[in-house]
Each structure stands twice: as C-alpha cells, then as structure tokens.
Amino acid sequence: MAASKKPSAFKKILLPIDFSSTSEDAAAYAVMMAKTHKAKLHILHVVDVSEDAAGLYVPHLSYEKFDKEMVTGASDMLAKFCSKACKGFKNFETEVLTGNPYKSILKATKNNGADLVVMGAFGRGRLDKLLFGSTTERVMRKSKCPVLIVHPTT
C-alpha cells in the first residue's frame, strides 16, 4: 500500500454563490478557512442564462441586451454580497461567468487552481434539484479537489 499524501494548507479557495441565505452561510465558512490558511478566496457567481433564471437579475429587456444586463446585475449583486460577507477580509477576488452553473464551477476550480471548494448545500433552485439534480451534488461528485458543503444555519 502506498503512503498517502498528507493534505497541506489550502492556498486557493473557491466560493461559488447564488445569493441565497445558504450562500451567506457558506461564505462565513469560506472566509474563516481563508483566514486560517492565509488563502486567496475566489468568489464566483454563474449567471444561468436559461429562461427559468431570466427574472433574477433585471426586468424584461430586448434579447440583444439581456445577457449583458444579467451579468451587470449579477456583478452589482456580487459586490454587495462581498461587502457584507467579506467585511474586514481583503484577500479575495470576484468573478461572474455565464453558462451551466456546475460546469462553470468545475472549470473555475481547475482554471484557478483551487485547493478547496466551499458551497451551500442548496440554493435558489430547489425545484430544479427535484427535476435535474443539484448543482452542489454534481460539483461534489465531479470535483478533483475537496468540497466543503455547508448546510443552512436556520
């Protein structure tokens, strides 16, 4: 039997959020882990451009402007989220992507060299979970690095 490699301190932590209260709970853990390990925190929101998600960011717009406005709205929401969730913590960066949430999260994990993913147990899409499966579950199953799942505190 080969000797197992000891885990080292986390250097890069990915925090995917969907602006739900569960994301706030996950952010508290991610910031704590980043402080403890002196790690860089990468906070990510993926704009799901499907019809079901269309009303989350902006009111009805022409299709030409729709994607851009959704990203702009999500970026504003992310800045507000971070001002509250990361108060007093400066070692973080943010990113807004468009696409399939779980695929984008997995790609960001790889592209950013994340050592750990911290995410909420579930977010806005509880009905989607019943129909299609959970983003969190898919990330947990397919991630190449550890995934810390944070359950809601309430």
Write down all domains in the chain, each with its CATH number in brackets.
12-150 (3.40.50.620)
In this predicted structure, what is the pLDDT of residue 134? Answer: 84
Mean pLDDT of 130-145: 81
Q: What is the mean pLDDT of residues 120-132?
A: 59
> What is the Cα 106 distance to its own chain's centre?
10
Residues 6 or more apart whose CB falls under 8 angstroms from that of 30 comprise 13, 15, 41, 43, 118
Percent of the chain with pLDDT over 90: 61
pLDDT at residue 123, as a whole number: 60
Calculate mean pLDDT across residues 14-36.
94
Q: How many CB atoms lie within 10 A of CB 86?
A: 19
Count of CB atoms situated within 10 Å of the CB of 141: 11
| Alpha carbon distance 75, 79 (integer Å) | 6
Chain-wide mean pLDDT for the chain?
84
Distance from C-alpha of 127 to C-alpha of 91, rounded to nearest angstrom: 35
153 Rama sector, left if φ>0, alpha if ψ -120 to 50, beta otherwise? alpha
Q: What is the pLDDT of residues 55-70, one digit of tens each?
A: 455 555 565 577 788 8
Residues 69, 120 contacting (CB under 8 angstroms): no
